[in-house]
């Protein structure tokens, strides 16, 4: 027997309403947009927006509703410590909490030291070198159907062909020097500034920071052409790679 740790792509359900009926209605609409993508999809329930109200959430009813919608609820995160034992006893895995919203420690940016005074042109300039926060992974072999490649905390550069039925994903951006097929997911851990670049857009599904689009249902005229995919707010945008 061999036990290995792996990182797989999981969908997260961000719960902001204690009403299971309302939640089920909204989730049904979302599932029906891409039933093949969500069928038997592992799901994490995130209660960060509920805060202490998560104590009043009926997790048993929620699990039943998710199973009826053909999701597989595998765990919860950002729940009060007072209910973690009960959740664990009822079959929920307790996932590591995410970073709090509004955290300003991103990309080396700090809110300190801001000033409205006119800068002195003769003053010495202090230069701070910022180290890259993300690495890069290069894939130089074909990605076959059924194969998944994940670049954790990194951008991904793909030099070889990808097949239909394959899946490539990265926490950063994805650069493909050729045609992309299968599923392509950038910003896998919520990096909304991540992008997808390719020489020929032929993917089954594209996603950035969890916002996805099935190419067969897209109205884009860039299928089979060089393209760039990125987020504009909550909207997934597909543009020509060169304008």
Assess if residue 104 is contained within a domain: no
**How many domains is the chain built from?**
2
Q: In Å, how far from its chain's centre is CA 220? A: 22
Q: Is the residue at 114 inside a domain?
A: no
86 with 171, same domain?
no
> How many angstroms separate the CA atoms of 159 and 18, rounded?
47
* pLDDT value at residue 129: 43
Query: What distance in Å separates the CA atoms of residue 195 and residue 62, rounded to the nearest whole number?
Result: 34
216: phi then psi, degrees, rounded to nearest 5: -65, -25
Do 139 and 78 belong to one domain?
no
CA distances from 76 to 57, 99, 189, 239 (A): 12, 15, 16, 36
Domain with 35 in it:
11-94
Instruction: Give 11: exposed, middle or buried? Use CB within 10 Å, 0-12, 13-18, 19+.
Output: middle
Q: What is the pLDDT along the chain (243 residues), one digit of tens a residue?
A: 655 545 455 678 888 888 999 888 888 887 776 665 666 777 888 888 888 988 999 999 998 998 888 888 888 888 898 988 888 888 888 887 754 433 333 333 333 344 344 545 555 444 444 344 457 889 988 888 888 888 888 899 999 889 988 889 888 999 999 889 999 999 988 889 999 999 999 998 999 988 888 888 778 888 889 999 999 988 899 999 875
Domain boundary among 76, 94, 112: 94
Do 143 and 219 lie in one domain? The reply is: yes
Q: In what order do the strands lie in the sheet with 148-151?
A: 148-151, 167-170, 183-186, 205-208, 211-214
| 108 in any annotated domain | no
Taking the C-alpha atoms of residue 2 and residue 103, their distance in angstroms, rounded to an integer, is 39
Tens of pLDDT, residue by residue over 96-135, are 775 443 333 333 333 334 434 454 555 544 444 434 445 7
End-to-end alpha-carbon separation of the chain, Å? 53
CATH of the domain at 28: 3.30.70.260
The answer to whether residue 230 sits within a structural domain is yes
236 and 139 in one domain?
yes
The 10s digit of each residue's pLDDT in 207-237 is 998 888 888 877 888 888 999 999 998 889 9
In a domain, residue 90? The reply is yes
Residue 15 lies in a domain: yes
Domain of 207: which CATH number? 2.160.20.70
């Amino acid at each position: 027997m061999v036990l290995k740790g792996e990182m797989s792509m999981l969908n997260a359900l961000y719960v902001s309403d204690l009403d299971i009926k309302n939640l089920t209605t909204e989730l049904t609409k979302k599932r029906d947009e891409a039933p093949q993508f969500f069928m038997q999809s592992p799901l994490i329930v995130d209660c960060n927006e509920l805060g202490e109200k998560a104590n009043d959430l009926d997790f048993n009813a929620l699990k039943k509703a998710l199973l009826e919608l053909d999701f597989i609820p595998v765990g919860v995160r950002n729940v009060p410590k007072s209910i973690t034992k009960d959740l664990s006893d009822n079959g929920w895995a307790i996932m590591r909490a995410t970073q709090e919203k509004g955290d300003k420690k991103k990309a080396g940016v700090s809110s300190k030291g801001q000033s409205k005074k006119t800068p002195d042109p003769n003053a010495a300039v202090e230069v701070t070198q910022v180290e890259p926060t993300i690495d890069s992974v290069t894939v130089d072999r074909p990605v076959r159907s059924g194969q998944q490649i994940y670049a954790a905390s990194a951008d991904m550069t793909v030099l070889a062909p990808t097949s239909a039925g394959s899946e490539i994903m990265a926490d950063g951006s994805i650069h493909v020097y050729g045609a992309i097929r299968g599923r392509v997911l950038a910003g896998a851990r919520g990096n909304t500034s991540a992008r997808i670049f390719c020489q020929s857009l032929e993917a089954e599904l594209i996603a950035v920071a969890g916002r996805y689009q099935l190419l067969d249902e897209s109205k884009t005229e860039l299928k089979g052409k060089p393209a760039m995919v990125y987020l504009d707010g909550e909207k997934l945008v597909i543009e020509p790679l060169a304008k």
